[in-house]
Structures are given as C-alpha cells and as structure tokens.
Chain A
C-alpha cells in the first residue's frame, strides 16, 4: 500500500498529507463526520485501518466515523485527556455542530496532543456557506495553524501535536478547499507503529461555574505562552526584499509568490502559518520596516483587523491595505486572476488580463442516472398538492432543487428539514414533506423528530435511505453493519427506530416501485399527524459495483410517441433528443429500469446488446 511507504517522495492530496503526518506523529485516536473538503483525511485513515486488518495486522490507532461532529469531538477529547494523540476532522460547518463541546473543551484542555482540523470552503464549492473558521480559534481561544500546501500541511499537523502537548490545549489546523484538494510533493518519513492505551486521572474537568471561573484565566495564560511560540514558529517567516510589504497566509501565499515572480516585482513578504495567537512583535517589526502593507487573505479581514490593531498600539504609521483594495473582497476564494492584478496595482506594475468574455451554458451537478432519489421525487410530485412545501437537507438529494422536480424549498444545515418541517406545518397549515438522507437523519434529524412527535406536528418526513453517506464519498453510517475500521458494527434500522420512538404512521417503500411509492406518500399525506416514509434503496453507484453484468435500457422507436414524459418530467440524464427522436445514452444508463414505469406508451425495453 503506497500510503504506508517510507523515506521517499510521493504526490499526496492535502488531506492525505494530513492523515500521513498524523500517523508519523503517532496518532492513537481519530474521529470525524465526513464533509467536503475535509473527508479524505478520515477516509485515508479508514483505508489504512481496513487494509491492515485484511492483512491480519492491528492498526496503531482507533478510528471511527462518528454520528456527528459534536460526538466526534467529545470522543477524541476523552482520548486526549487520557493522554492519547487524537485527531478530529470536519468541514467548516461541522465546527458549528462541534462548537458547544469546543468552547468548554478549551477551558478543560487535554494531555495527549489533539488536533482539530477544519476544512473551510471559500466560494462554497460544496457547502451551504463560506464561513471563515479562523474566527473559531479566536472565539474559543485556541492555537491555530494554517497550511499553504500539502507538504506544509503534513509538517504542521506533526508540529500541532507537539504544540498541543506543550500547552495542554487542542490545536486547530485550518485548511481550505485549495489546500485540502491540491496534490503536491510530500516527503514520507517514518510511521510510528506503537500502540498506546489511554490512562485517565481525575482532575479539574467538571466545568461547574466554580471550576469554569478557575479555568478561564488558565486558558488565557496558556494563550500568552502560545503567543511566544508563534513569535518563534518556523511557520511564520519573512522572505524577499523591498519597501512594499505583503502579509499573507494559507493558499493565498502561493498566488502572492508566483505573482511577484511572474510580474518581476519586489516585495518583502511576511508569511503567517501560526495564525492564532498572532506573533505581535514579529508583525510590529515587519510593519516598521516597510512603507506600505498589503494583506492578502481569503474571506474575512481576520489578519487585517488584528494587524491594524497592532500598528495602532505600537504607534506605527504605515498604510495598511486589505479588503476593498484592488480586487480584494470578503466574498469567494482568491485566485491568481484576483491576486495578480491587485499586487500589480500595489507595486505599480502594468498587468492586463483578458476578462472572461464567453458565457458557456452551465453544467451543474445532477442526480446520477438510476439514482433512487429521482424515483422518489418523481412519485412524490404526482401525489402531493402543488402548494406542498418541501424542506430539504444536506446530501445528494438537495439536487432536487433543480427543475423539473423543484422538491427543495428550504435549507439551513444538517437536520434542518425536520426542524423547519414542523415549523412550516404549524405556521402555514399546508402540506409539508421534509426530505432527509439516512446519514443526515442520524446526524441531526433525530432530536427534531422527537420534537415534532412530542408536539403533534402535522407533516411528513421522507427519509431517503440509500444505506451510505453518498455525497461525501460513500462513508459508512450507523445504519451499516461494518464501521470505518472494517469491524462489525450494530446496524440501526431507521424504521424500527422511528416506530420505537412512537411515530404511529411509518412505511418503508422501495422507490423503484412507482405505484407502491405513490400510494405510500398518498397515505402519509392523508394521515393527520406526523408520518414517516422511509424510501429505501441503495445508492446506484454502490449497486453498480456489486452487479456482475451490465444492464441497460433502450427506447423502442416504433412505440415512442414523443410525449417527452421521460425527458420533461422524469429527467434522467441518460435520455436525450436526437432530431425528433428520443434515445437513451447507453454509456450513461445504469439499468435501474424505472423509466419503464414512467413511459405511458410502454416504449422502453431492456437492451439486448450492451455497448462497451
């Protein structure tokens, strides 16, 4: 397995580099809830654990896909307070879920090193917002490192364990999509294969008010020590010469360096990698040595505001430019197209780029051909009244937003379909169908369902159970019988769980059976009270892997009347028009066969000869 090779160079994804750094640093305990762009950190550990087990070896760490980020953090906090080295990874919005534990965990601290990775997503490549989680480091008072590349990410996570142990504080490693999903050359060192067991000794860990009041000043003292460490950290450094200064962090550093190189410019660069607490003395010295400063950071003016404060407190009269200068703003990720012209303006260099003129038809992501969610949506649209409100949730099925389905009306966060479903039902008295996936249901749907049941909210929850966490790359969840380490796990049956809670109207249906699905939703809509329909069929991508033989379908042209039901209302992407004919793209068809039930003319049949 090349993930476990030693003493050589390899091309690793930023996330793989983080996982690799962790096992070189003697990782004992890792937890996560999957989320783009952070998923592959945990996925890499899962692959390593499962492959080692298959080879009859015991992995040197415990790993789990926890039910949500809060539980993941709590699990790992217990390991770290017991002296083990722990890693918890999550996407930026996962930190919101974990934040209740995080804020007080900072008071309590840890013994073994604990690194919390947040994967931020400037530009919302695959997220519902682009919040800047550097604010969490300040908010919770925790040290933070920010890598610019996969190689640096690996060095930083190794150092983060050391820092965490020196300070008895969890350390935040904040990456962004362009670091997480960049591949770069990384040196593979030696893996620490040793197995350790945690040892818990009682201490001031029960945060009743008296204890909390005692712990808060201790936390602030620890952060003063962290500031001294930031002043000396190798991740904060100055390079280049010039009277103009640039302060930058994260992936933006790469754009700055290449821009100065390509523009033949001159500037003194302060690169910050240890970004909470900031090295105030180092920054003040830097500000004194330059005539003006440009701050190049994505999203919020996190560095800018603190640097302006440092300049003010040290009476340094230097012009500081940041958000609002050139093409710099608080929205979306920075790119060379933003950084190059802005640096050129700052350094007084001519630079022109052609603005993008061509507008090409967008190609948004869509539900896969054969996706069971499409089948569910098709059935629901036929039986639900037109003014039905569809709260939706986080997963592939959010793509129900697109026409022709438009079965997504409201979305905030994981689990919000159920909470808001009750709200819409009470506020509008209209029919409401909340769509939520299986993994999301376990993650944050359960408390909301209890709330709806207890208060007799009158609406329908459709649990789209495809037996995996599909969108983030098919990670297991509590409904599965194998966990992330390849161990046998106790599967939790959603229908039994919901019935056990006391929901009276619960039906399980196979969404590929159109008639049965329509009838199930009709009954659920008619039911006065909380109803649950579990639409249960595996993700088509998993199903395809299990199949031995390829099956596809075709349109019988003699029978097709061109009514367009398959294209206009079913909208499976395998269907296309060629002239006045409707055809099925053999390469895209996954053989689910649902379209046979959609076609009113019976013009779709199984193809006898399947293409290569």
Chain B
C-alpha cells in the first residue's frame, strides 16, 4: 500500500505542522512514514509544500500524478501543485487568497478564484471550505491548518484513525491542543 498527501500553503500558515500531525498519527497506526519539508528561505512568506507518504514508500517526493489529495491552505497553492494529484484524487482547499506581494506592484497576476477552481476541476475533484471562518469560530485563525486536517479526515482519504490524529495533536501542540481539537472537530463538520 502506498498513500501520499501533499500539504501546500504559504510560509507561516502551519503547513509543516499539519503534515507532522498526520505523519505522527500514521506512525501511531503502525505505518511506515516519509515526510518531506523545505526549510530556510521558504519560511519567509514563500510557497511551502510538504509531502506525507505512508506505506511501502521511500521517496520523500511524491511521484507525479499519484497523490490521493492536495490539502491547500491557500487556493493558488492548490493550483501550483496540481500535477502531484491523481486524476482519481481530490483537492481540498481553503478559499481565502493571500496575494503574492509582487502582484500588488504589477509583477505577476493572481487569477480569479473562479479561474483557479475551474482549472483544478479540470484535473480532479475539488472540495472548498472557508477555513479562516471556521478557525476563527474555533478561537484563532492560527488553527486553520488543523481545520483542514479535520476536513481531510472526514473525507476518508487516508486510513488513519481519528483517535491517533487527536493524540498527535495533543503531543505536538501541547498547550494549544484544546483549541486545535475544537478546530479539528469543526473542520470535520464542514464536510457534509
């Protein structure tokens, strides 16, 4: 069995934390896990992506077109990585754009959300949620990454147990666990 998920977003959104929670939960369920991340310059507001792969996997990079899902904390970042996801897979994305700063001085263009979503739908199934609003309901915009994990879990993309994810949240987020578990639950409910 091989299963890969790509987490994507903008530096500072908690992309790596979300991926770490899934990786840790997968280990609890007894899976082999490989996770890739990039540090350094990527922290400074640049695009960030992080792969979590479980099962009979070795490569830290997802072979093209084989990811079961892209979990995007920003819509443009979902589109940027669309080649990673399988035609039978899906994209779960937040709907709140973060404009690359250079676009405000006329360098590059941020496409309309309709364009972005249209392109994604040409490729695979698309699930959209307003994770900002849900995270605020949970108590802090900073829980947006965990809201996305809740949504991912209720879409049953990975065979990872709910209890293991909750345990991983507690271990990795220590004193912020409570608010993040609330965010996870609200994320789950966001998927009908």
Contacts and interface: CB of A to CB of B under 8 A. Distances in A.
A385 interface: no
Contacts of B57: 258
A361 B109 contact: yes
Contact of A573 (B61, B64, B101, B111): B101
Contacts of B40: 36-37, 39, 125-126, 471-472
Interface in A357-372: 358, 360-368
Interface string A259-274: 1011000000000000
Contacts of A111: none
Contact of A358 (B58, B110, B119, B140): B119
A262, A363, A366: which has the most chain B beta carbons within 10 Å? A363
B39 A126 contact: yes
Interface in A578-612: 587, 611-612
A149 interface: yes
Interface string A203-238: 000000000000000000000000000000000000
Given A354-B65, A358-B82, A183 B44 contact: no
A95 interface: no
A257, A335, A360, A587: residue with the most chain B Cβ atoms closer than 10 Å: A360
B104 A365 contact: no
B45 interface: yes
A363 B47 contact: yes
Interface stretch (B29-37, B148-156, B158-166, B180-188): B29-37
Given A181-B36, A336-B64, A353-B64, A254 B47 contact: no
Given A181-B36, A255-B59, A576 B27 contact: no
A185 B77 CA distance: 28
A360 B63 contact: no
Interface in A144-201: 148-149, 177-178, 181-185
A253 B33 CA distance: 17
A361 B108 contact: yes
Contacts of A611: 141
Contacts of B145: none
A337 interface: yes
Given A184-B33, A360-B79, A360-B80, A403 B105 contact: yes
Nearest to B103: A361
Contact of B42 (A10, A261, A365, A575): A365
A340 B59 CA distance: 12
Given A361-B100, A365-B11, A36 B59 contact: no
A396 B44 CA distance: 8
A361 B82 contact: no
A573 B105 CA distance: 11
Interface residues of A, number: 63
B39 A181 contact: yes
B110 to A, nearest CB: 6
A589 to B, nearest CB: 13
Interface in B3-49: 10-11, 20, 23-24, 27, 32-47
A609 to B, nearest CB: 14
Interface centre among A39, A354, A575 (most CB of B within 10 A): A354
A258 B39 contact: no
The winner among B104, B107, B111 for most chain A CB atoms within 10 A is B104
Interface residues of B, number: 55
A577 B104 CA distance: 7
B134 interface: no
Interface in A337-358: 337, 340, 353-354, 356, 358
Interface in A459-477: 471-473
B46 A366 contact: yes
Contacts of B44: 365-368, 396, 399, 471
A391 to B, nearest CB: 20
A426 interface: no
B167 interface: no
Nearest to A150: B34
A240 interface: no
Contact of B60 (A251, A402, A575): A251
10 contacts: A181-B36, A182-B35, A261-B56, A337-B63, A354-B83, A358-B79, A360-B79, A472-B40, A567-B105, A573-B101
- In the A-B complex, the 6 residue pairs with the smallest Cβ-Cβ separation, listed nearest first, are A126-B40, A36-B40, A365-B46, A361-B108, A365-B44, A254-B58
Interface of A: 9-11, 13, 36-37, 39-40, 125-126, 148-149, 177-178, 181-185, 251, 253-255, 257-259, 261-262, 335-337, 340, 353-354, 356, 358, 360-368, 396, 399, 402-404, 471-473, 567-568, 571, 573, 575-577, 587, 611-612
Interface of B: 10-11, 20, 23-24, 27, 32-47, 56-65, 76-77, 79-80, 82-83, 99-105, 107-111, 119, 136, 139-141
Given A126-B41, A340-B64, 20 more contacts: A36-B40, A178-B36, A178-B61, A183-B23, A185-B33, A254-B58, A336-B59, A353-B65, A354-B65, A358-B80, A361-B102, A361-B109, A361-B111, A362-B47, A363-B80, A365-B41, A365-B43, A571-B104, A576-B99, A577-B104
